Amino acid sequence: MSQSSSVSSPAENTPAAPSLSARNQDTAAIAGEPLATDICVIGAGSGGLALAIAAAAFGRKVVLVERHRMGGSGLNVGSIPSKALLATAKRAAAMRSAAPFGIASVEPQIDHRAVQQHVKSVISAIAPNDSVERLTGLGVKVILGAARFLDKRTVLAGDYRITARRFVIATGSSPEIPAIPGFESGGYLTNETIFEVDRKIPHLIVIGAGPVGLELAQAHLRLGSRVTVLEQARALGRDDPEAAAITLNALRAEGIDIREGTRVERVEIMSGYVRAHVSGPHGSQAIDGSHLLVAAGRTPNLSGLNLEAAGVKYGRQGIVVNRGLKTTNSRVFAIGDVAGGPHFSHVSSYQAEIVLRRALFWQPAKVDPSIIPWITFTDPELAQVGLTEDQARAAKHRVNVLRASFAENDRAKAERDTIGHIKVVTSSKGYILGATIVGPNASELIQIWALAIAQRLHIKAMTSYVAPYPTLGEIGRQAAFRQYATLPAKRSVRKVIDFLARLG
């Protein structure tokens, strides 16, 4: 997420004169059919689609360019297939752990090809919403092909030479492959290829213990694989350490071997066999597996855009934007992963709203990083919005920390799912700064706290509604009431109550 006027990077580029070959290509491109539009969106992922559809709904002339697949990585190789796989894995885990409910636990018989078909069917069910046909019906002209800037106000895409009042770059990101010896020959998996595997993976080695790595690790463990996760730093390093520890302990208890502080020095990859040579707390060793998944971050998709010709500055982390998501070319915006992350579909959609307000209504809308939730969809789930406790203290806030445990929640007890808690951070005056939830349905329960932070609410607001019983959501209201836990013991409060009692 761009939080300041620029994205810092050691490899920033400034506009430079195009090469002779580039000038020759540009000269040849002049033959393309001219196409003038109000807004040209490059990239049909979640952010690009949202922006194109909304702008067209307001009567703007919109061109959408996509060089690969409509729906972007979120639909095809990211959020949707991973959640479909996790749903399958959760059902397998439930079959193994049904005994406490009076149902015989059984070892599920897993048809990995059928699992793959389930994932594909979910993608197919959603794909029509992002299709060329639907976008065309909504008034968006879709061009399938690569986009390339010819100058500051012209893009070549397919057979068209597009000029626009505003351009929006929403090309997303791709898996980052670390510079580890042995990767040169390929043979590893990423989130873009792992869903193509239609058989059991005997032993999956995962490089990277962020949300993607751990979600896929748990899914494959529950589908019968042995899983080892290697993390050079701290697993779930951006999350509240206390909450992250609960998720990590649960994953380890389930059977995932998570090794933190472990550096991969080199790998050997052959057909049906991988070996990772690592160094860590226990010295150097070799870990053998059948498949290797790289989940070590993302890199922005900038290739082929010819941003130098557009006068758009960029670096290793992505395109440089200000808080209004405008680039160094005032006609060009950038949103989503290509603008530096965080790499979530809902971030791209949120940023699309910011650009829409600026480009159509000339509003001074700016990105507010504090209102963006992030989720790890493991079991237990881990959800965060706003500041963590450590971040709030580092920002010199005088904070109160309010807690409630799922072990105290009647619905969680009924479902035998009591691991985890909610942790709310407020200012000394009671304004909500952040919330962390680890436990069942955390991804759903965090939403009311995201609203509270977006509206700058006082914690009192979270005690003023009636929560249905029994629900997991009661845990948030219970935590909010902790703000007033000491009131009954205060002498001043007791004196007021005594005085009112004497009045009859």
CATH number of domain containing 427: 3.30.390.30
> Is 102 among the domain residues?
no
Q: Please give the residue that has the higher pLDDT: either 286 or 343.
A: 286
> Is 331 among the domain residues?
yes
pTM attached to this predicted model = 0.91
Task: Using alpha carbons only, give the angle 226, 229, 234 rounded to the nearest 5 degrees.
Answer: 155
Regarding whether 305 and 206 lie in a shared domain, the answer is: no
Regarding whether 49 and 193 lie in a shared domain, the answer is: no
Shortest CA distance to 333 belongs to which of 351, 315, 346, 317? 351
Q: What is the mean pLDDT of residues 400-405?
A: 97
Regarding whether 317 and 287 lie in a shared domain, the answer is: no
- CB-facing half-sphere around the CA of 149: CA atoms within 13 A: 26
Residue 73 to residue 310: CA distance in whole angstroms? 25
Q: What is the mean pLDDT of residues 8-30?
A: 43
Regarding whether 228 and 193 lie in a shared domain, the answer is: yes
Instruction: Write down the mean pLDDT value for the chain.
Output: 92
> Is 10 among the domain residues?
no
Which pair of structure tokens corresponds to residue 53? 């559809």
- pLDDT attached to residue 30: 55
Alpha helices in 241-395 (DSSP H): 241-254, 307-310, 345-361, 389-394
Regarding whether 442 and 385 lie in a shared domain, the answer is: yes
Q: Which CATH number covers residue 212?
A: 3.50.50.60
> Is 95 among the domain residues?
no
Residue 279 to residue 298: CA distance in whole angstroms? 24
**Which of 297, 329, 352 delimits the end of a domain?**
297
**Which of 297, 327, 345 delimits the end of a domain?**
297
Regarding whether 143 and 44 lie in a shared domain, the answer is: yes
Does pLDDT of 430 surpass 60?
yes
Domain count, the chain: 3
Regarding whether 55 and 163 lie in a shared domain, the answer is: yes
Does pLDDT of 93 surpass 80?
yes
**Which of 297, 331, 346 delimits the end of a domain?**
297
> Is 116 among the domain residues?
no
- Domain membership of residue 209 as a residue range: 183-297
